[in-house]
Amino acid sequence: DGGITQSPKYLFRKEGQNVTLSCEQNLNHDAMYWYRQDPGQGLRLIYYSQIVNDFQKGDIAEGYSVSREKKESFPLTVTSAQKNPTAFYLCASSGTAMNTEAFFGQGTRLTVV
């Protein structure tokens, strides 16, 4: 089955530790995205990538980093510089044609204690 896989579904980390969230897609999509979801805030764009080895900051990139070494993979690292990292993180992918919709993974809930 084609789709987007995020792992793990739940992740707990101690404050001050970096943590990497995994996102893999087998839809042959060129574009991939990371969003953060907080209650009442909707989805806010962290980073996105339109092609391998290239990515752009979204609206809330501070405290996060990404890499895009392979078309299928777009991992997100939440660094210790992120002041409030506890949230639900959603990865998505899409084709690069204009007006195309994005497909989402099941999300990773990160809790920092």
Partner 1 sequence: GDSVTQMEGPVTLSEEAFLTINCTYTATGYPSLFWYVQYPGEGLQLLLKATKADDKGSNKGFEATYRKETTSFHLEKGSVQVSDSAVYFCALIPNQAGTALIFGKGTTLSVSS
Told to check if 95 binds partner 1 by CB under 8 A, we report no
Count the neighbouring beta carbons within 10 Å of the beta carbon of residue 53. Answer: 9
Euclidean distance between CA atoms 75 and 4, whole angstroms: 12
For residues 19-78, which are near partner 1 according to CB under 8 A? 33, 35, 40-43, 45, 48, 50, 56, 58
Among 21, 90, 110, 112, binds partner 1 (CB under 8 A): 90
Part in contact with partner 1 (CB under 8 A); list of ranges 11-19, 65-73, 75-83, 92-100: 92-100
- Amino acid in the structure at residue 8: P
Among 21, 66, 78, 92, binds partner 1 (CB under 8 A): 92
Cα angle vertex 60, ends 56, 65, to 5°? 55
111: CB partners within 8 A, 6+ apart: 10, 11, 12, 13, 86
User: Which residues form the interface with partner 1 (CB under 8 A)?
Assistant: 4, 6, 33, 35, 40-43, 45, 48, 50, 56, 58, 90, 92, 96, 98-107
